[in-house]
A and B are shown apart, each in its own frame.
Chain A
């Protein structure tokens, strides 16, 4: 495996980790808000667990961001920006954003439907949107990059 492939693999790994950490971190906050709204009797337990997961998630998110910065530094040192940010990368990036846009519109439709039958708080709606806005493009991008790497290999 050459340096570029290694860097791309590491970048994908860090991005996958960031996606997972963000899902756990923000997902726990969303779960707490849903529990507080739908089943207030479990509110204390939800707050207790969510606070712990939030703290761990926050710390892990910072670590993952540092890891991403380190990968970027390695890319810069190897002078591999142009090779890694090629046409295919840009194509994957815009495709991932398109998927993110469609996912957001789909989520809004779902939220409008939910809102008609259940009481939703703004916190639940916004957090769900933030989760989808980050996870949908990130996951799509990682999947597309992995597929391309597999084809190259």
Chain B
């Protein structure tokens, strides 16, 4: 495996960690908000959501720090243009399109739900934000993984 491929795999791993940690962090916050609005108190579920929130937030911060370190490694290897090639840019565009579609779908779903159930703006904003960050990250990782050759 050459240096560039290693960097690509590291990038995918980092983006994957960032996506999952964001989902854990913001998903748990959304869960807590919804439970609060519905006045639903279940100690074990609340504890699970709080633990997920803490783990997610710490992992997200860790992923961001690792991303800074990764960028330094890319710069040192002089691989910026190689890693940002045509295929990567295409994948990024496709991932963004999926993210946008996901955001619109969630907003439309919330609009329909809001006619039957009353909920706060915070819940709506968070739900759309989660789809806007999680979907493009996951799609980018998936597309990039498909483009990489098998290690085996």
Identify the A interface with B (CB < 8 A): 94, 97-98, 100-101, 104-105, 108, 111-112, 115, 120-127, 129-130, 133, 137
Taking the closest CB of chain A, its distance from the CB of B106, in whole angstroms, is 9
- The CA-CA distance from A115 to B136 in the complex, in Å, is 25
Query: Are B96 and A115 touching (Cβ within 8 A)?
Result: no
Query: Are A108 and B100 touching (Cβ within 8 A)?
Result: no
Within the complex, which residue of B103, B108, B121 is in contact with A115, where a contact is CB–CB below 8 Å?
B121
For residue B27, CB closer than 8 A to chain A, the reply is: no
Query: Are A98 and B96 touching (Cβ within 8 A)?
Result: yes
Query: Are A105 and B107 touching (Cβ within 8 A)?
Result: no
Within the complex, which residue of A98, A105, A130, A137 is in contact with B111, where a contact is CB–CB below 8 Å?
A130
Query: Are A122 and B119 touching (Cβ within 8 A)?
Result: yes
Question: How many chain B residues have a CB neighbour from A under 8 Å?
Answer: 24
With both beta carbons as reference points, the residue of chain B lying nearest to A95 in the complex is identified as B93
Query: Are A115 and B122 touching (Cβ within 8 A)?
Result: yes
* 88-137 of chain B: CB within 8 A of chain A: 93, 96-97, 99-100, 103-104, 107-108, 110-111, 114, 118-125, 128-129, 132, 136
**Complex contacts, B121 vs chain A, CB 8 Å:** 111, 115, 120-122, 124-125
**Complex contacts, A137 vs chain B, CB 8 Å:** 100
The 25 listed contacts between A and B (C-beta, < 8 Å) are A94-B93, A94-B97, A97-B97, A97-B100, A98-B97, A98-B100, A101-B96, A101-B103, A101-B136, A104-B100, A104-B103, A104-B132, A108-B125, A112-B125, A115-B121, A122-B110, A122-B120, A122-B121, A124-B121, A125-B121, A126-B107, A126-B110, A126-B114, A129-B103, A133-B100
With both beta carbons as reference points, the residue of chain B lying nearest to A118 in the complex is identified as B121
- The CA-CA distance from A40 to B23 in the complex, in Å, is 37
Query: Are B107 and A130 touching (Cβ within 8 A)?
Result: yes
Identify the B interface with A (CB < 8 A): 93, 96-97, 99-100, 103-104, 107-108, 110-111, 114, 118-125, 128-129, 132, 136
Query: Are B128 and A122 touching (Cβ within 8 A)?
Result: no
User: Considering the complex of A and B, which 5 residue pairs feature the smallest CB-CB distances, nearest first?
Assistant: A120-B121, A125-B121, A101-B100, A122-B124, A129-B107
**Complex contacts, A120 vs chain B, CB 8 Å:** 121
Query: Are B100 and A100 touching (Cβ within 8 A)?
Result: yes
Within the complex, which residue of B122, B125, B132 is in contact with A101, where a contact is CB–CB below 8 Å?
B132
**Complex contacts, A129 vs chain B, CB 8 Å:** 103, 107, 124, 128
**Complex contacts, A112 vs chain B, CB 8 Å:** 125
With both beta carbons as reference points, the residue of chain A lying nearest to B133 in the complex is identified as A105
